[in-house]
Amino acid sequence: MSEISHSWLNELPKIELHVHLEGTLEPELMFELAKRNSIPLNFSGVNEVKEAYQFSNLQDFLDIYYQGAQVLLHEQDFYDLTWAYLLKCKEQNVLHVEPFFDPQTHTDRGVPFKVVINGISDALADAEERLGISSKLIMCFLRHLDETSAIETLKNSAEYTDYIYGVGLDSSEKGNPPEKFSNVFSAAKDMGYKLVAHAGEEGPASYIWRSLDILNIERIDHGIRAIDDPELMLRLINNQIPLTVCPLSNVKLKVFEEMASHTILEMLEQGVCVTVNSDDPSYFGGYMTENFVSLYDNLGLSKDQALRLVKNSIDASFAPKKRKKGLYSILDEFAAE
Ligand code: HPA
Ligand code: ZN
């Protein structure tokens, strides 16, 4: 008999380092908010929305994802979105999260930055107090927009540095290389933000090099294309630069044909600091537990590998030292049961 099971993977203490809050919008909440805010949707019901979630690449997904986000207008909407995700975390024993949000998706529609950040940060504060879930929030720039817009967004964030811990880069990767954002990342660093960026999801390994060398990022989101470049693999291993990998997302967006061909465990065994994350769980078929379960069902994830993946997430997180120590103890105690 296998030493682990689906329920063990649900109970496993977990850390999430790559999740877009807008990507946690479940169709049910999308309809509720559309009604509350009198926003027409292109879908007749929840089932039709779910059926539309078939994507052939990243752009296909992004087109639907930005549509969905239009139902978010008021502080309460952003609170409800974030809180629903955090309740899911509680259910799945996710103890620390570092979620992304995309302010430009909202400010471009006339929703003030303040409305977005207040709703999200109130929910994160309540989660810490009521659910025991700690967090560090990361603001992403949309890479399909120009750098001027990103700089404007960075300036908007200056009032909220108590609530925002880092900046990232997301949206359409191909044709929008890291160096397009060199000035804004340099300015963000000067403001004291931690730096991460999506790289090597659909784009080539060279985008990972350039994110490290030009943007000075500390952690790579996705990064799975690194496996094409042995020299880059050595750098990632030697410097223990973390990758926030999103298995179900990669299969949904056809980065891998099927889960059985995913390379995350191969990278883990080679010594890369890979971690498991959900990306846009409501669109990709699952939250943290479902991602671990899929690795177990399709790649034979072992107990030792599952524990190492979570340890990597603790190491890779921006949690303060004391919290990291606490998370290690919880994990060690769980592993010994
Ligand atoms: N890649 C790039 N941008 C995104 C993603 C992703 O997987 N999810 C939400 N925005
Ligand atoms: Zn992502």
Q: Tens of pLDDT along 83-120?
A: 999 999 999 999 999 999 999 999 999 999 999 999 99
Residue type, 294: S
State residue 145 phi and psi, 5-degree precision.
Answer: -95, 170
* Residue-level pLDDT at 337: 86
Question: With contact defined as beta carbons under 8 Å apart, do 324 and 332 qualify?
Answer: no
Rounded to the nearest angstrom, the distance between the alpha carbon of 239 and the centre of ligand 1 is 25
Q: Which domain holds residue 19?
A: 6-336
Rounded to the nearest angstrom, the distance between the alpha carbon of 325 and the centre of ligand 1 is 31
**What is the number of other CB atoms lying within 10 angstroms of the CB of residue 334?**
15
> Does 295 fall in a domain?
yes
Residue type, 137: L
Question: With contact defined as beta carbons under 8 Å apart, do 260 and 243 qualify?
Answer: no
> Does 237 fall in a domain?
yes
Torsion of CA 270, 274, 279, 281, to 10 degrees: 80
State residue 140 phi and psi, 5-degree precision.
Answer: -105, 145
CATH number of the domain residue 203 falls in: 3.20.20.140
Rounded to the nearest angstrom, the distance between the alpha carbon of 148 and the centre of ligand 2 is 22
> Does 89 fall in a domain?
yes
Per residue, what are the HEC states of the chain? CCCCCHHHHHHCCEEECCEEHHHHCCHHHHHHHHHHCCCCCCCCCHHHHHHHCCCCCHHHHHHHHHHHHHHCCCHHHHHHHHHHHHHHHHHCCEEEECCEECHHHHHCCCCCHHHHHHHHHHHHHHHHHHCCCEECEEEEEECCCCHHHHHHHHHHHHHHCCCEEEEEEECCCCCCCHHHHHHHHHHHHHCCCEEEEEECCCCCHHHHHHHHHCCCCCEEEECHHHHHCHHHHHHHHHHCCCEEECHHHHHHCCCCCCHHHCCHHHHHHHCCCEEECCECHHHHCCCHHHHHHHHHHHHCCCHHHHHHHHHHHHHHCCCCHHHHHHHHHHHHHHHHC
Number of the ligand 1 atom closest to the C-alpha atom of 249: 7
Q: CA dist 281 to 7, 256, 294, Å?
A: 19, 17, 13
Tens-level pLDDT at each residue, the chain (337 residues): 568 999 999 999 999 999 999 999 999 999 999 999 999 998 989 999 999 999 999 999 999 999 999 999 999 999 999 999 999 999 999 999 999 999 999 999 999 999 999 999 999 999 999 999 999 999 999 999 999 999 999 999 999 999 999 999 999 999 999 999 999 999 999 999 999 999 999 999 999 999 999 999 999 999 999 999 999 999 999 999 999 999 999 999 999 999 999 999 999 999 999 999 999 999 999 999 999 999 999 999 999 999 999 999 999 999 999 999 999 999 999 999 8
> Does 202 fall in a domain?
yes
Question: With contact defined as beta carbons under 8 Å apart, do 100 and 170 qualify?
Answer: yes
Binding site membership of 77 for ligand 1 (Cβ less than 6 Å): no
* Domains in the chain, number: 1
Q: How far apart are CA 265 and CA 30, in angstroms?
A: 35
Question: With contact defined as beta carbons under 8 Å apart, do 316 and 219 qualify?
Answer: yes
Rounded to the nearest angstrom, the distance between the alpha carbon of 321 and the centre of ligand 2 is 26
Ligand nearest to the CA of 63: 1
> Does 32 fall in a domain?
yes
Question: With contact defined as beta carbons under 8 Å apart, do 3 and 303 qualify?
Answer: yes
Binding site membership of 22 for ligand 1 (Cβ less than 6 Å): no
> Does 80 fall in a domain?
yes
> Does 300 fall in a domain?
yes
**What is the number of other CB atoms lying within 10 angstroms of the CB of residue 47?**
10
128 belongs to the catalytic site: no
Testing ligand 1's pocket by substitution, the residue of 21, 25, 58 carrying the most ligand atoms inside 8 A of its CB is: 58
> Does 1 fall in a domain?
no
Q: Which of 16, 98, 173, 201 is catalytic?
A: 201
Residues comprising the binding site for substrate? 280
Residues comprising the binding site? 18, 20, 198, 279-280
